Amino acid sequence: MNTQKKKRPQNTGRVLIWLLHYMSRYKLQAILVIACMIISAVCSVRSTYYLKPAINDHIIPLIGQRDPDLTGFLHNLLCMAILYLCAVAAAFLESRIMIYISNQVMYRIRTDMFYRMQRLPLSYFDEHNIGQIMSYYTNDVDSLSNMLRQSFPKIVEGGMTCISTLVTIFMVNYKLAFIVVLCELFMICILRILVKKNITHFAGQQQELSHLNAYAEEMIDGRSVVKAFGREKDVIERFRSVNERLFHSSSKADFYANSIFCVTNGIFNIGFTIIAVTGGLMSMHGLADIGTTGTFLLYYRNMYNPLTNISKQFNNLLGALAGAERIFQFIDTPEEPDEGKTELVNVILQSDGSLKETSRYTGHFAFKDCTADKKSSLKLFEGRLQFEHVDFGYKDSQLVLHDFNLSIEPGQKVAIVGTTGAGKTTIINLLSRFYEIQAGRILCDGIDIKTVKKECLRNMIVMVLQDTQLFTGSVEDNIRYGRFDASSADIMAAAELAHADSFIRKLPEEYDTILTHGGDFLSQGQKQLLAIARAAVSHAPILILDEATSSIDTRTEALIDKGFDSLMKDRTVLVIAHRLSTIKDADLIIVLDHGHIAEKGTHTDLLKQNGIYHDLCASLAGSEQQ
């Protein structure tokens, strides 16, 4: 129980303020909705009132007459029919407008969620399960959408109906009205007790459903690993455990939900009997009349129906508020900070040595200082990278790099090698500012990369990673991801450079072949060739190859070596690889060991040292021969 209490909405008031903020753009429509609700409630209540004169003035006096005059009775019925039609029309209009508002609000919320997700730092996704984030887009968004379209309007409409009914019955007969109010108050007290219990269980149910979806998605992604290690029984047992927690949480929530209906229905029947008996006795003593008693029974039912609807919708409302709180907390998550004021722009090298900014690609770049307190200045981009006394750890208590120093000259090809966990990929992550360093500086041409806008910083770096991510779309579109203004001719030239053109031509629609599910029908090697083509079409002046040929056979790797030479031309290149053929011709090889540079030099120099690199090359040579 204590665990579940922690999962209940922490600040319902703030969630409602968030919702009002999103709905504030639709004030006129909201006013129309409220007006329709008032009209519907008033017309429904007023039409019921016509039952009293219909009984007292027409039905009872006409009993026993051979040729009764039904003019007044028909007039009553016509008035009732008109009011009912007005109520139905107002309710229909209110429903249509509310659907429009809710869809618009959900459109904005989904857009804000996706926008914020793109702005979150990678560390957020290290700490939060992907399946859990997906549940915000599915379960929580659906619950909130249903609340805006159905639950919230029905609760407000029911409240208005109850208020209109209360005002009317006190005007008709305050004595009978007190009996009705007492019965309704007793029902409300019971409802509050049950709802208070239910709010905790519904929040817990949403949380457990989120865990179930997250685990199921994780197992779908890792299905091949599960089968390879024969862990089907283990994951089924784990799923059964997660599903069982959801079962217990849902059972408690549904038990209290059903209890609400059963209890309120029983109270209603008791109240209906009390009002009928009381009204009958009062009619016998001249304190009321038959028409008033019949009208009050209908009013009591008219109040019961909204209260029942409110209790039904409260379950959806509670679950939606719990989900809405998670959604808005996700939207309010601080985005990746970017204090940069420097941009990277295309420039023309003029004959006098000066730089001129241009919008077209020239092959030359410059840093442009855009601070407000000085005129824009241009500094030619060369590609010199420096790590100065850098300390970094994914957790503050566990440093991966400590007092790390490295200098890379413009146009230099630097290979980074080391054992698993030595910090190779970390260097790339820091250069792209996917993570922030704890101490020290990283410079590009003497400019601290913290002062460079992250978008510009990442646009000047192109990566070919070991795990290639392909998106739903054509082959051409996936290669164009490297540069959106690339022409079809540029795409094909890049594919030829990467030696991807030959297999692309064999696809059903060649470059127009649609890739889905990350290109499941392509081999890992083919995916990496597309990633290399994507890098080739880019104009980024810094190239990073992180195990770029790990899934490519040695024959294909030999074929694209010349392509790599073209790809690396006039670029500063960082290479992380385990193949000797990839690293031995590097201008500088860095050997990492537990976050420190243990050795550095050329391939020949390091072999002569007979140290870590020598041993590493011996093991690599043995594995490649096998």
Q: Mean pLDDT in each 10-residue stretch from start to end of the chain (626 residues)?
A: 43 78 84 86 77 72 70 79 87 86 86 85 78 80 82 78 79 77 76 67 74 78 71 80 83 72 74 78 74 76 72 72 83 82 84 81 82 68 87 80 86 82 81 86 88 85 80 86 85 85 86 80 81 85 79 67 71 78 80 82 83 75 51
Determine the Cα–Cα distance for residues 346 and 361; give it in Å rounded to an integer. Answer: 6
Both 368 and 391 in one domain: the answer is: no
Report the number of distinct structural domains present in the chain: 3
Q: Which residue has the tokens 């998550």?
A: 333
Q: Quick one: tokens of 45?
A: 């209540």
Residue 560 has a pLDDT of 66
pLDDT at 1: 35
With respect to residue 566, please indicate whether it lies within any of the assigned structural domains: yes
pLDDT at 5: 39
Judged by DSSP in three states, 368 sits in strand
Separation CA 423–CA 186 (nearest Å): 67
Tokens of 68: 């009764």
Q: Are strands 355-358 and 542-546 parallel, antiparallel or unpaired?
A: unpaired
Does a structural domain hold residue 336?
Answer: no
pLDDT given at position 248 = 82
CATH number at residue 12: 1.20.1560.10
- The residue among 312, 331, 350 that closes a domain is 331
Domain that holds residue 393: 385-625
Q: Letter for the amino acid at 8?
A: R
- What was the pLDDT predicted at 198? 66
Q: Same domain, yes or no, for 251 and 347?
A: no
- Between β-strands 473-474 and 377-380, what pairing exists: parallel, antiparallel or unpaired? unpaired
**What is the C-alpha separation between 200 and 184, in angstroms, rounded?**
25
393/259 same-domain check: no
Hunting for tokens 């959106």 — which residue is that?
484
Rounded to two decimals, the pTM is 0.68
Find, among 542, 539, 614, the residue nearest to 580 by Cα. 614
Angle of helix 71-119 relative to helix 27-49, nearest 10 degrees, comes to: 150
Residues 245, 352, single domain; the answer is no
Residues 361 and 394 in one domain: no
Mark whether 69 and 209 lie in a shared domain: yes
Q: Are residues 107 and 172 in the same domain?
A: yes
Total Cβ atoms within 10 A of residue 27: 9
Residue 146 counted as domain residue: yes
Same domain, 290 and 351: no
Q: Does residue 357 share a domain with residue 317?
A: no
Domain CATH code at residue 490: 3.40.50.300
Q: Is the domain of 375 the same as that of 441?
A: no
Residue 220 within any structural domain of the chain:
yes
Assess if residue 337 is contained within a domain: no
Considering the domain architecture, whether residues 534 and 460 belong to the same structural domain is answered as yes
Residue 20 lies in a domain: yes
Radius of gyration of the chain (CA): 36
- The pLDDT score that the predictor gives to residue 197 is 65
Triad 588, 590, 594: Cα angle to 5°: 175
Walk across the sheet containing 588-593 and list its strands: 461-464, 542-546, 572-576, 413-418, 588-593, 596-601
Phi, psi (deg, nearest 5) at residue 357: -70, 145
Is position 158 within any domain?
yes
In a domain, 352, yes or no: yes
pLDDT at 341: 84
Beta strands 588-593 and 413-418, pairing class:
parallel
DSSP-assigned letter for residue 336: P
- Claim to verify: residue 423 and residue 392 sit in the same structural domain: yes
**Phi, psi angles (nearest 5°) of residue 414:** -115, 125
φ and ψ of 593, to 5 deg: -145, 110
Q: How many residues does the chain have?
A: 626
SS3 of the chain: helix, strand, coil, percent, to 5: 65, 15, 25
